[in-house]
């Protein structure tokens, strides 16, 4: 068993994972974004749960609103950007299946450990 306490500090932080899945915290300042029009995970699905704040996700060119309690599945290969459109921090828990990043936050090739 593995366990951690999430600390929603600024930016993206891998929190916990194993060979099959990975969890990370992501905090975006008002007006900022993570990802971009070419950002995608070739080998991992990304589940994004909004803990607090407001924003917008652009997935494959389609814009979707984000707010506290939103759960979004970004499938492997989908291009995506997460933008904070609110006045407070956008805090999200992201789960990757399989893992998409090293513990230090570098992207893994094709979502493998």
Reported pTM: 0.91
| pLDDT tens readout for residues 20-49 | 999 999 999 999 999 988 899 889 999 999
Closest among 79, 110, 86 to 96, alpha carbons compared: 110
Q: What is the pLDDT of residues 51-89, one digit of tens each?
A: 999 999 999 999 999 999 999 999 999 999 999 999 999
Bridge-partner residues for 82, per DSSP? 34, 57
> What are the structural domains, with CATH classification, of the chain?
11-102 (2.60.120.10)
């Amino acid at each position: 068993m593995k366990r951690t306490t999430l600390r929603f500090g600024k930016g993206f932080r891998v929190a916990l994972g194993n060979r099959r899945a990975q969890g990370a915290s992501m905090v975006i300042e008002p007006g900022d974004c993570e990802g971009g029009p070419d950002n995608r995970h070739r080998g991992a699905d990304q589940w994004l749960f909004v803990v607090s704040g407001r924003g917008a996700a652009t997935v494959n060119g389609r814009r979707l609103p984000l707010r506290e309690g939103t759960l979004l599945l970004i499938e492997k290969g989908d291009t995506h950007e997460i933008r904070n459109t609110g006045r407070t921090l956008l805090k999200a828990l992201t789960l990757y299946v399989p893992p998409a990043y090293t513990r230090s936050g570098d992207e893994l090739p094709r979502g493998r450990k």
